[in-house]
Amino acid sequence: MSSSQPYTKPRKIILECQKNVPDEVAAILPSYNASRQLCTRNRVDPYESYDIPSDINFVLHDDFKVSEKKELFLIYDETYNEQDRMLIFSTEKNLQILNENRYWLCDGTFDAALSIFIQLFSMHNLKNGNNLPLVYGLFTNKQQATTVLGQPRTNNNLEGWHNALQSTIKSHPHLLCLISNLRLEQSNTENEYIKLSTGQVNKKKPKYIKLEEQISKIVSEFSDLKILDYLYNLSLLLKPEIT
């Protein structure tokens, strides 16, 4: 188990393996220290055969240019201004989905970015009210996030995705680790898209349903309001929750 989960804490692995064992097995279990040492010896670094990039002049291994399905995933790799580089990951199907939809949600995060790249920027589409990340961009300079107001759900949706991504990786991982997680996210997007296309519905929280309705109502009245009144009304809805 430790070889297949190289970043899982030894204690968790040991507890998982020892749960629900019969009494006769529990009686002969090795000590915790012995089990921990066994986990450490059997750990396999999935990146040990690769060179970990340390500056923008790296050459990305072909294994990290494709998705888990071996489809092209790195669609753009450009060095510019002699000191900046941009990597964009997506698939032909993802771009097709974006092309077929009028509204996109975009956001950026810095916790999941690297020492080489400052920001992880992502583009999302909403299908049946559910967030589908479709494009990932790694930038060496800070990009301005763009948000379209008045669409189903607010950027709370994207913040939830960023939090979920961050929970699966350590803060500021090396490039190959981050790309591996983006490949997993892509696989999950493909699965979610199929489920949503076949009628599966994920239940929304009542407070978000109400918020969406209120925002849509304000947006529909945009032409009848002064711009400051419009922005003020939206700010009242999007203010931080007071506890």
**Residue 210 and residue 186 share a domain:** no
Query: Is residue 56 assigned to a domain?
Result: no
pLDDT computed for residue 133 by the predictor = 93
pLDDT computed for residue 224 by the predictor = 72
For residue 227, the tally of other CB atoms under 10 A from its CB is 8
Residues in CB range of 35: below 8 A, 6 or more apart: 10, 14, 29
pLDDT computed for residue 159 by the predictor = 67
Distances (CA, A) of 46 to 69, 73, 191: 18, 19, 24
Q: Is the pLDDT of residue 177 over 50?
A: yes
| The two structure tokens encoding residue 191 | 């699965």
Q: Is the pLDDT of residue 156 over 70?
A: no
* 54-67 average pLDDT score: 94
Highest-confidence segment of 4-8, 56-60, 195-199: 56-60
Query: Is residue 243 assigned to a domain?
Result: no
Distance between CA atoms of residues 99 and 96, nearest Å: 5
| Structural domain harbouring 22 | 10-42
**Residue 73 and residue 115 share a domain:** yes
pLDDT computed for residue 72 by the predictor = 98
Query: Is residue 127 assigned to a domain?
Result: yes
Distance between CA atoms of residues 94 and 124, nearest Å: 10
**Residue 229 and residue 160 share a domain:** no
One-letter amino acid at 130 equals N
Query: Is residue 50 assigned to a domain?
Result: no
Q: Is the pLDDT of residue 70 over 80?
A: yes
Q: What's the distance, CA 50 to chain centroid?
A: 23
One-letter amino acid at 90 equals S
Evaluate whether 133 touches 122 at the Cβ level (below 8 Å).
yes
Of 10-24, 145-159, 192-206, minimum mean pLDDT range: 145-159
pLDDT computed for residue 58 by the predictor = 93
Q: What's the distance, CA 157 to chain centroid?
A: 12
pLDDT computed for residue 91 by the predictor = 97
Q: Is the pLDDT of residue 60 over 70?
A: yes
Q: How confident is the model at residue 146 (pLDDT cuts 50, 70, 90)?
A: very low
pLDDT computed for residue 6 by the predictor = 58
Q: From its phi and psi, is residue 2 left (phi > 0), alpha (psi between -120 and 50) or beta? A: alpha
Of 83-87, 226-230, 238-242, minimum mean pLDDT range: 238-242
Evaluate whether 93 touches 72 at the Cβ level (below 8 Å).
no
Q: Is the pLDDT of residue 147 over 50?
A: no
Q: How confident is the model at residue 241 (pLDDT cuts 50, 70, 90)?
A: low
Query: Is residue 57 assigned to a domain?
Result: no
Domain count of the chain? 3
Give the β-pairing of 119-127 and 105-109.
antiparallel
The DSSP letter of residue 173 is -
Query: Is residue 141 assigned to a domain?
Result: yes
Per-chain mean pLDDT for the chain:
80
**Residue 33 and residue 143 share a domain:** no
Q: How confident is the model at residue 152 (pLDDT cuts 50, 70, 90)?
A: very low
Residue for token pair 């419009």: 230
Q: How confident is the model at residue 170 (pLDDT cuts 50, 70, 90)?
A: low
**Residue 24 and residue 117 share a domain:** no
**Residue 105 and residue 211 share a domain:** no
Q: Is the pLDDT of residue 190 over 90?
A: yes
pLDDT computed for residue 149 by the predictor = 40
**Residue 210 and residue 184 share a domain:** no
Distance between CA atoms of residues 196 and 205, nearest Å: 18
The DSSP letter of residue 3 is T
Distance between CA atoms of residues 113 and 119, nearest Å: 5
**Residue 32 and residue 100 share a domain:** no
Q: How far apart are the first and last CA of the chain?
A: 42
Map residue 75 onto helix, strand or coil: strand
Query: Is residue 47 assigned to a domain?
Result: no
**Residue 167 and residue 118 share a domain:** yes
**Residue 193 and residue 176 share a domain:** yes
**Residue 151 and residue 118 share a domain:** yes
**Residue 28 and residue 68 share a domain:** no
Task: Find residue 88's DSSP bridge partners.
Answer: 76, 137
Give the residue with greater pLDDT, 62 vs 118: 62
The DSSP letter of residue 72 is B
